[in-house]
Every structure is written in structure tokens, then in C-alpha cells.
Amino acid sequence: MAILVIAEHDNASLKAATLNAVAAATKIAAHLSADIHLLVVGQNCAAAAQAAAKAEGVAKVLVADAAHYADQTAENVAALVVSLTNAAGYSHILTAATANGKNMLPRVAALLDVAQISEIVAVESADTFVRPIYAGNALSTVKSADAVKVISVRSTGFDAVGQGGSAAVENIAAGPDLGLTSFVGRELTKSERPELAAAKIIVSGGRGMGSGENYHKLLEPLADKLGAALGASRAAVDAGFVPNDYQVGQTGKIVAPQLYFAIGISGAIQHLAGMKDSKVIVAINKDADAPIFQVADYGLVADLFQAVPELVAELG
């Protein structure tokens, strides 16, 4: 028996969240003495496969390289994972709970006729896992009765494995092209800043920013100074200040950086769900009673329009 982890990548590089998913697989493997296989599905993805081979704890990297995997559509990737699982008898299938992982993995579970266990944050045993429910207001321990455990991994729950490994890389045959979807285009936000999900410091703005213009004018200099990623509350996204991929919270990204700045954010349950595991939280808000101050390590009751430029100046 072995454990299959599906890599998150963009053909050229491996996404950091994969290393957290491998870490979760390592914890499961310790209960079973099972090998871990890391699957890279893409087109011209040799560079991603090379990076995958360095993930510590991985015994073998499987590479399916074909034109119909260029955009990693859920339908085609899931079909491949299911046929691999039926052939190789994997006991567990894991992937990071990224937009890609969340999109693809439930198809795998349904086709195998098993439950999926979403966004685990801890491994209790080979069949028992802990996952947050109700926006992280409760932690549920669930035991799976299925033959194959299909699991998505919340990155903040597991420290990434190192990259000093040297797994064998094996090419495998591609699965069928189901031809159900065709790719029209992709518009990625261009940014020199670190990725939100992997950043060590995050500067987030909320409704208190007042406008998209204010958001950029005030927060970009601060993020630049700190080498931070930019985030936002759902309220700021709903108000149209920034695109949805900035959103931190229950329905956006779940982050746990070393330092999180919540600026002009009141601290709704939905937002706290996405950032309350940050190591240090700083809140700047003019409302002294804002709920964000109940989770902040350092709170500053101040007008953000004065405090943020002052902060940039003070950081030198």
C-alpha cells in the first residue's frame, strides 16, 4: 500500500502548498509504514517534476505529461487519479486545499464512491482526522469507514517538508481526454509581491479603507516596506476595492503568516476564520470596540489614514 499526493504546480514550478500536503501524508504514512508517491499532472511539466523529486519523504514522483493536461481541468485529472488508484491500490489520496485541489478532488472521491475529508488540520491515525467546521468555530474529529481515504489538506495545519530529497521520477501513461471542457483564458493578477497563501507577512485592508484607491495608496507602500503580501476582508472585496483572490477568510484564503496586519477590518467571524492562526496579529482600527481587538496581539486604536503613513515612515 502506498499514499498518493497530487502536486499543485504550474508546470514550471511546484507550489509551496504541495510540501504541506506531503507533510500530512508523512504523518499518515507513519501509522502504516507506507511509501508516498507524488503525482505531477501537466504539460511540459518536467521542471515541476524535478522540484517534486526534492520533497523530503517522497519515494517516487509519477509524471503524466500530455497536451490535455496543460490546464489541469478537474475532469481529466480526476479520471487519471481514479484509474491510477484502481490499478495501484492507494490507501490514501491527498492534495492541498487550494483552488485547484478543491475543484478536482471531490470528483475523485465520487468516482471512487468514497467520502472526502476536506481541509484536515491534524492526523490522529490512518483513518481519523481533525478538520474545522463552522468557519473554524469548531474542530471536528472524523473517522472514515471507506477503503480509500480522499483528503484535502489545509496548509496552515502542517509544517512544510524540506526540499533535500531525491525521489525517483517515473513517467506514466496519460489518461483519456474527456473533452468536456475547453480552456478559454486566464487572467492572473500581476504582482511582484509574495503569494498570499505562502507569505511570511500579510497586510490586509477592510471596509475601513473607504475605497479601492485608498486601499492601494495606503497599503502598497506598507507592503513594499515589509516585503508583505496584500490581503483583504470579504467586506473590502464585496465593496469592489480589490479582486476576490485577495480575500482572507472562511470563503477566501486561509493564512497563518508570522505577522498579520488587519487594517480597517472590524473582525467578522468569517474573516477571523481565515487568519486567527497567524503568529502575531496587529490591528489598526478607529473603533476601540471592534472584535478584531479580541484576537490582536497588538491593537492600535487610531485613524488608519494617519497611522498607516506614520507606520511606513517609522519603519524607515
Partner 1 sequence: MKILVAVKRVVDYNVKVRVKSDGTGVDLANVKMSMNPFDEIAIEEAVRLKEAGIATEVIAVSCGLAACQETLRTAMALGADRAVLVETDVELQPLAVAKLIKAVAEKETPQLVIFGKQAIDDDANQTGQMFAALMGWPQATFASKLVVSEGRANVTREVDGGGETLALKLPAVVTTDLRLNEPRYATLPNIMKAKKKPLETLKPVDLGVDVTPRLTTLKVVEPAKRSAGVKVADVKTLVEKLKNEAKVI
Contacts of partner 1 in 73-92 (CB under 8 A): 73-75, 78
Q: Pairing state of beta strands 128-133 and 122-123?
A: antiparallel
What 3 state SS string does 215-228 have?
Answer: HHHHHHHHHHHHCC
Nearer to partner 1, 26 or 118 (CB): 118
Could you say which of 107, 206, 208, 241 contacts partner 1 (CB under 8 A)? Answer: 107
Rounded CA-CA distance 2/5 in Å is 10
Q: Partners of 260 in the beta sheet?
A: 202, 281
As measured in angstroms, the least distance from the Cβ of 59 to partner 1 is: 28
Stretch that binds partner 1, among 33-41, 42-50, 161-169, 298-306 (CB under 8 A): 298-306
Window of 54-62, 158-166, 168-176, 274-282 that interacts with partner 1 by CB under 8 A: 274-282
- Contacting residue, 128, 172, 217, 286, with partner 1 by CB under 8 A: 128
29: cell is 504514512
Backbone φ and ψ for 105, nearest 5 degrees, come out as -60, -40
Cross-strand bridge partners of residue 96: 153
Least Å distance between CB 23 and partner 1?
19
Is residue 230 within a helix (H) or strand (E), and if so which, with residue range?
Answer: strand 229-232
Query: Which region among 37-45, 49-57, 58-66, 125-133 touches partner 1 (by CB under 8 A)?
Result: 125-133
What are the φ and ψ backbone dihedral angles of 39, each rounded to 5 degrees? Answer: -100, 125
**Segment 177-206, which members bind partner 1 (CB under 8 A)?**
180-189, 195, 197, 201
Q: Scanning residues 226 to 265, which ones bind partner 1 (CB under 8 A)?
A: 226, 234, 237-238, 243-245, 247, 250-251, 253, 258-259
* 298 is a site residue for partner 1 (CB under 8 A): yes
Query: Which residues make beta-bridge pairs with 170?
Result: 62
